[in-house]
Amino acid sequence: MCFGCGNSATVGDGIVFDELNVNGLPSAVGGPQIVNSGDVLMGNGTTHAKLRVQGHVLTAVTPSGTTYSGTQLEGLTFTIGMDDGRRYLVRLTKVKGCLYRQKDCTPITFWVTPKEEIPQYDFEVQKTSQRTSAAAAAAAAAAAADLAKRNAARKRKGQKPLNKNEVENDDRAVETTFAEHLCRGPLADEDALWEAKKNSAFTFEGDHYDKATKRVTTTVQADGWFNLACYGAAPAKMHLLRHTSAGSLPSFVPQRKTTVAERTAMLKAITADYCGNGKSWTADNTPLRWMDAREWYPTPRIDLDRAMIRGRVEAVFGENGAVCLNKPRRLPEGTPSSECTTPAVRREEVRMACRAAGRTFRTGPPGEGGPTPDIPECSRRFVDYWPQAKDSNAAVYVVSTNPPKDADYCNE
């Protein structure tokens, strides 16, 4: 699972995001953001409110203090805007699950006990305005320069040049209806695990994901940030695994509370950030099995002895990426390297990339071995040390294994 692709929330035009602010602050330079300081209009068409997220429950609160929740939210709209003038009207069409609907409900629960239900929200999008004239002219010039650069590279490789009609348009025409879902990435249609819930999103507060570094930091509710996580995307997986602030329940025994280091280690494992520098070495629809040191998600439990004997252990991850690596999860088995293209991955490529990034490893697990610039293979010592990670502040925390049958990704 790569981060920021798959089934991540998008209003189209290449605008992909996983975080919004209830007070209308931009989630990135230039947007997107909820315009008019976060104003939302309830389904009755007259009542104005602001969104609020507590844990993973979405509500809307009016200036007078009236709170709307559950199916009362259906029909509310808000506008997402970019600094360049593009605008998108977003409508919450359905609140799904058994929490609010006693009939015809399909609950989504945490993958980790206690398997409580997580509220689901479906949103639709309508584009309402294009870029302003000045912004459109600047974007057109930038697109032309980018096309020229790409075609120069294609010419050097002896490839046919692209024309401007073959380049994705990031400023489509204004729409008159709600034509698309907010959650609509290709992952939703290609993977049977997500297909039935492909348009559903979770909301939760308390965690921020840095896409560039693949690290987790915490947020506070007063700042207004919340995650809008489409089912199947990396943030949604983090929540389903209870590796979020909102998913942590310290009152339960055994405690269901993770540290920031453990959450970061899980994110590194999900996104295959082997080198720990934020580069993801995986792609959607990649089969993988994993366990965290707490063994919260051992379904089915991995037999590490058998996995070691059969050469199926992929990597062991900590908060700084992989501490060791055997076969990458996108290994192109049995295919000549010259015939492989991205996203097929070979261990040597990862080793060289980690070395170029200046990453330093150890030849053994924490406390053992000396420093090395090359990512080591996962020996028996690494795997035997892994269960101790629950007491070692995520020095090593997640172990992953490849599936019994190798997949060939070279022809994708």
Give 10-residue mean pLDDT values along the chain (412 residues).
64 92 94 96 97 96 97 97 96 86 75 88 96 83 78 76 67 92 67 63 95 94 94 90 87 70 93 94 80 76 77 90 90 54 78 94 86 93 76 70 67 48
Joined tokens for residue 238: 């983090």
Which residues does 173 contact at the CB level (< 8 Å), separation at least 6?
127, 130
Report the C-alpha gap between 183 and 185 in whole angstroms. 6
Q: Which secondary-structure segment (H or E) carries 81?
A: strand 77-81
Burial of 357: CB neighbours in 10 Å, binned 0-12, 13-18, 19+: middle
Phi-psi region of 373 (alpha: psi -120 to 50; beta: other; left: phi over 0): alpha
Measured over the CA atoms of residue 288, residue 293, residue 294 and residue 300, the dihedral's sign is: positive
CA angle 124–204–97, rounded 5-degree value: 60
In this prediction, residue 114 carries a pLDDT of: 85
Chain centroid to Cα 79, Å, comes to: 23
> Do 272 and 314 form a contact (C-beta atoms < 8 A)?
no
Domain map of the chain by residue range?
9-131+171-240, 135-166, 260-401
**What are φ and ψ of residue 92, in 5° steps?**
-85, 110
Joined tokens for residue 146: 């980018």
> Do 28 and 19 form a contact (C-beta atoms < 8 A)?
no
Burial of 61: CB neighbours in 10 Å, binned 0-12, 13-18, 19+: middle
Joined tokens for residue 78: 């808000």
Q: Which secondary-structure segment (H or E) carries 173?
A: none
> Do 361 and 374 form a contact (C-beta atoms < 8 A)?
yes
Give residue for tokens 């792609």: 283
**What are φ and ψ of residue 383, in 5° steps?**
-70, -40
